[in-house]
Structure formats: C-alpha cells, structure tokens
C-alpha cells in the first residue's frame, strides 16, 4: 500500500508539473525573443529622426555609431538612390540579403529576416529621396538570453514538487501501513499463543476500529480460555471423591491378580487427574498474567461499574455524570483490578457522603497516561495527605477509606500515582494517574498483608451478605408459593435493577463492617 501511494503521487505530480512547466517554458522562450526584437526596434527608432533630416553619409555614420549599444556591426542603413546619392548607399553593417530588403520595402512595415548567426529587423523609414530601410542585427544569443536559466529553475521547481509529493505520500502511507502491520503482527503473535499481545488504537479511523475489534476479540479469547481451564480444573477436582471411593473399594477386593490390576489402574487414574488439575491451574495463572499484561478498556469498565452503581444512586437521589467514556481507552492493568479500584472509590462516595450528593466519573486519555477522576459534592477531606499516608479516612468526613490502598497500588503498578484534592463539585476529587509507558514495579509497604487480608474479608463479607439476602428471598418466595395453593399465580421475574441495588448495598455494608473492624483493631 505504501509503494502504491508513492507511485500514484509520483505519476500525478509528474503529469501536473509537465502540464504547467512545458507551456511555461515555451512562454519564457517567446518572451525572450520578443524582448530582443523590442530592443532592436528601439535602436532602429533612434536612426529614424536622423534620416528624416539628412541622408548625408558622414552624419548617418556618426548616428549609427552613437546608436550602437552592443558590439559594433549590428546597425545598417539602406539609403535609396536620389538627391546626393545617385546610387543606393549602404551605411553600417549589412546582414540581410537584397531580396529581404526589397521585400521589406514592398511590405511597407517592419519585418524580420533570418540571417546567418541570428535575425535582422528591417524597419522602413521615409526620407526625402524615397524609402530607406534601417537594419538591426539580433544574434541568436540575445534571442535565447535567460531562457536556459529559466528552464533550469522550472525544472528544479518541478523536481522539488515531485520529490515533496513523494515524501508526503510516503509519510501518509507509513501512517496507514504501520497500524496495519502492527495489527497483522499481533494477529500472528496471538495465533502463536501470546495471549498478552494487544494493538495500539491509532492511525486512520478504519484501522482504529479494526484494532479495537482485535483487542476485544483477544480479551474474549483470554476470558474464554480462563473459563475453560477453570472448568477443567473444577471438573477434575470433582473426580477426586469418586476416585477415593473407588480406591477404598479396590483395597477391599483382596490379594488376587484382578484386584492388584484394579488398584494399579485406580492409582494411575488418580495421578492423571492430579496432573490435569496442576496443568489447568498453571495455565490459568498464565492466562491471568496475559490478561494483566494486555490491559483492558477503561471506558468499558467505567460504563459497566457505573451501570451497577447507578441503581443505588437512583434510590438515594444522587445525580450521576460520566465523561470521556464514550470511546475506547486502553490502560495497562487487568480488568478485575480496575473494576475493584472503581468499586472502592464509588463505595467511598456512597458511604461517606449524604444521600442526594452528586458525583461524577471522568476519564482523560493523555499522550503518556490515562487519568481517572472520581469527584463528589460531599463535605470533602480535612487532611488528604494524612488520608493517603494512613490508607483510610480520618472519620466520617470525606469520601475515602480503606479502598484508597487498592486504588494506590493499582496506579503505582503502572508507574502512576493517586492524588486527593478539591473537586469542582465542592467535595473530594480522587485523581488516579495510570501511566501508559511507566515501569511496572512492585510496591511494598508496611501493613500490606493486613490490607490484603482486610480486602479479602471485605469480599467474603459481601458474598456472605449477598448469599444470605438471596437465601432469604428464596425462602420467602418458597413460603409464598406453598401458601398460595395449586391455583396461585406464579411470581413475576426479578427486576435486574433491584438485584444491582441489592448487590451495591451488600458491598457498601460489607465495606462499612470491615472499616469498623479495622478501626477497632487499630484502637
């Protein structure tokens, strides 16, 4: 494609240059010729007044000598016979043939006659004895004076235009070809098993769409492989119980040859199942690493989590705003980690601000980083630096808590950071800076195990809370079904927004319970 664009640009520019340069070169040549004969006419005009006064040879020779502006021998006067000249007189240099002079006399106006070495301008002039002819010789050098230089300049300009157009076409072709080459290279790498390969979404719009589709496909492939390997490990693990029973039964068969063969087969089967489980777990870990290295679409994750939290926001009368999430924004973090960080920040907003408080989530895609802003209209944080140092807020005020540590670790894993400040809404603004090209380095701090344990407890508490709520709902539904009898009408399907509200409240309650336990432990 690149060379095709270069060839097209070369052909088009060459045709344009030829179409303009050739006629312009001919015009320049004609202008040089007209300029030379115009100068010759001015020289001939200086002899005309002298001929009108006298035809004396001496005076005419002095006039011819004074009219010469270049090398001598260019001007000549053909005086007819009569008066003081009983025979035709020739004054000065003569280059034109007598037939050309006679033709000029018969024509009665200026004419040009080709002569060896150039051309002669023949200008008839009336004198007392008849019609005299003033001849001015114009050499070929004056007819083409400056033409060669002009043609060289035109050729240089045309060549420059051709080279410039080829260079521009090459740059444009490179801009179009490189994303396509990266896409093809990524497709080959993905086919060879490199699940972490992704394509930058740049270049023309069509190639950006293709890169986005490829990244989505690769994410889906990674997710499908992870699900498949998890399913394989789970199914293999389920075989342990029947294998154990089979092994115990085989042990009670006695000492016959058939019993020994059965026990040997059961042992071999147990080893194969263990190998399947180990292989599935190793491949699952590799798949997770590939997913983390590949990153995710931050805009898609933000839209998904905001759709989850918007149900609870609607119940509490909160105004929600999302900006910058309408186009793909790739970040070098795993999708679950980014979702957990967003849940932590949004959970802090719901937990530490009154009902009806507005909040917003903005994402900005800079050249070297992606910035995620979570802001609210709450009371704010009295000491943001202390909140960042401790990893939790200083009480009921503000919109931060234990989840800040999750957000900070996520940002620092990309080489970025987290900053707290005052938002345009009047409350707290959490600015998460995710570096696109920063080094991925582990962050070790005191209390890491405690925070990780607390995060695990939080998730387990949320799961237990959600499970208990689901169990109570099922029990109530079962009781209502039994009491309604055979003619009772079936319940309508559950509202998905109600499920989202219940899940959000469960997460919020689990976070609050975990924070309370952490505060008590710290005290």
**For a pLDDT cut of 90, what percent of the chain falls above it?**
11
Q: For residue 523, is pLDDT > 50?
A: no
CB 333 within 8 A of CB 294: no
DSSP letter at 494 equals P
More confident: 56 or 521:
56
Q: For residue 112, is pLDDT > 60?
A: yes
Top mean-pLDDT range of 51-65, 303-317, 429-443, 465-479? 303-317
Tens-digit pLDDT profile for residues 418-470: 988 888 888 899 999 998 865 433 333 333 333 333 344 344 444 444 444 44
Q: Which of 385, 412, 311, 391 is nearest to 348 (CA)?
A: 391
Q: For residue 522, is pLDDT > 50?
A: no
Overall pTM surpassing 0.85 (yes/no): no
More confident: 91 or 379:
379
pLDDT at 396: 42
Distance CA(200)–CA(203), nearest Å, equals 9
- CATH 3.30.450, the chain: domain bounds: 2-147
Tens-digit pLDDT profile for residues 281-299: 666 555 555 555 567 888 9
Distance CA(160)–CA(20), nearest Å, equals 14
What's 2-147's CATH class?
A: alpha beta
Tens-digit pLDDT profile for residues 320-375: 999 998 888 888 888 888 988 898 889 888 888 999 999 999 999 887 889 999 99
The mean per-residue pLDDT over the stretch 108-130 comes to 83
Q: For residue 518, is pLDDT > 70?
A: no
Run of H or E including 331: strand 330-331
What's 296-443's CATH class?
A: alpha beta
Q: How sure is the predictor about 198, in pLDDT bands with cuts at 50, 70 and 90?
A: confident
More confident: 330 or 522:
330
CB 272 within 8 A of CB 175: no
Residue with tokens 């007044």: 49
CB 120 within 8 A of CB 113: yes
- CATH 1.10.287.130, the chain: domain bounds: 205-294
Mean pLDDT over each residue of the chain, to the nearest integer: 75
Distance CA(80)–CA(86), nearest Å, equals 9
Residue spans of beta strands (DSSP E) within 10-162: 75-79, 89-92, 111-115, 118-127, 130-139
Distance CA(134)–CA(84), nearest Å, equals 19
293 burial (CB, 10 Å; 0-12 / 13-18 / 19+) is middle
Q: For residue 149, is pLDDT > 70?
A: yes
CB 124 within 8 A of CB 109: yes
From the options 1.10.287.130, 1.10.10.60, 3.30.565.10, 3.90.870.10, give the CATH code of 205-294. Answer: 1.10.287.130
Q: What is the dihedral of CA 255, 256, 257, 261, to 10 degrees?
A: -60
Pairing relation of β-strands 130-139 and 75-79? Answer: antiparallel
**For a pLDDT cut of 70, what percent of the chain falls above it?**
72
Residue spans of beta strands (DSSP E) within 308-445: 320-323, 330-331, 359-365, 369-376, 417-422, 428-435
The two structure tokens encoding residue 467? 């499970």
């Amino acid at each position: 494609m690149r060379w095709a664009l270069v060839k097209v640009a070369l052909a088009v520019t060459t045709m344009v240059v030829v179409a303009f340069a050739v006629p312009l070169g001919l015009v320049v040549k004609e202008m040089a010729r007209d300029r030379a004969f115009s100068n010759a006419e001015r020289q001939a005009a200086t002899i005309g007044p002298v001929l009108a006064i006298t035809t004396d040879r001496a005076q005419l020779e002095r006039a011819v000598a004074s009219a010469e502006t270049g090398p001598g021998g260019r001007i000549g006067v053909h005086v007819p016979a009569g008066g003081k000249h009983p025979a035709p007189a020739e004054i000065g240099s003569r280059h034109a043939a007598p037939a050309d002079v006679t033709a000029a006399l018969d024509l009665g106006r200026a004419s040009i006659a080709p002569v060896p070495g150039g051309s002669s301008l023949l200008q008839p002039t009336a004198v007392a004895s008849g019609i005299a002819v003033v001849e001015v010789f114009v050499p070929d050098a004056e007819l083409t004076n400056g033409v060669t230089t002009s043609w060289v300049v035109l050729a240089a300009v045309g060549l420059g235009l051709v080279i410039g157009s080829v260079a521009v076409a090459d740059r444009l072709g490179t801009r179009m070809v490189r994303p396509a080459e990266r896409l093809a290279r990524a497709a080959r790498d993905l086919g060879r098993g490199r699940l972490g390969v992704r394509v930058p979404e740049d270049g023309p719009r069509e190639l950006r769409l293709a890169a986005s589709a490829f990244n989505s496909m690769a994410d889906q492939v990674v997710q499908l492989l992870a699900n498949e390997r998890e399913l394989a490990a789970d199914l293999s693990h389920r075989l342990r119980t029947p294998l154990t029973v089979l092994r115990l039964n085989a042990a009670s068969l006695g000492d016959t040859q058939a019993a020994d063969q059965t026990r040997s087969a059961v042992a071999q089967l147990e080893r194969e199942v263990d190998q399947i489980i180990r292989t599935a777990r190793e491949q699952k870990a590799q798949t997770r690493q590939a997913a983390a290295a590949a990153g995710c679409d931050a805009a898609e994750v933000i839209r998904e989590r905001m759709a989850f939290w918007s149900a609870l926001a609607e119940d509490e009368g909160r105004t929600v705003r999302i900006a910058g999430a309408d186009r793909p924004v790739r970040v070098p973090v795993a999708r679950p980690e980014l979702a957990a960080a967003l849940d932590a920040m949004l959970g802090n907003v719901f937990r530490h601000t009154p009902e009806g408080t507005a909040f917003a989530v903005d994402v900005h895609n800079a050249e070297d980083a992606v910035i995620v802003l979570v802001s609210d209209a709450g009371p704010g944080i009295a000491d943001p630096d202390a909140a960042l140092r401790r990893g939790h807020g200083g009480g009921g005020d503000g919109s931060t808590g234990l989840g800040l540590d999750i957000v900070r670790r996520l940002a620092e894993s990309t080489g970025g950071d987290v900053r707290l400040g005052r938002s345009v809404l009047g409350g707290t603004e959490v600015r998460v800076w995710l570096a696109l090209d920063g080094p991925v380095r582990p962050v070790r701090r005191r209390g890491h195990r405690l925070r990780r344990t607390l995060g695990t407890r939080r998730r387990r508490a949320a799961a237990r809370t959600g499970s208990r709520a689901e169990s109570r709902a099922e029990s109530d539904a079962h009781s209502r079904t039994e009491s309604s009898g055979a003619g009772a009408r079936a319940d309508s399907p559950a509202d998905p927004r109600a499920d989202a509200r219940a899940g959000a409240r469960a997460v919020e309650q689990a976070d609050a319970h975990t924070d309370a336990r952490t505060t008590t432990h710290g005290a």
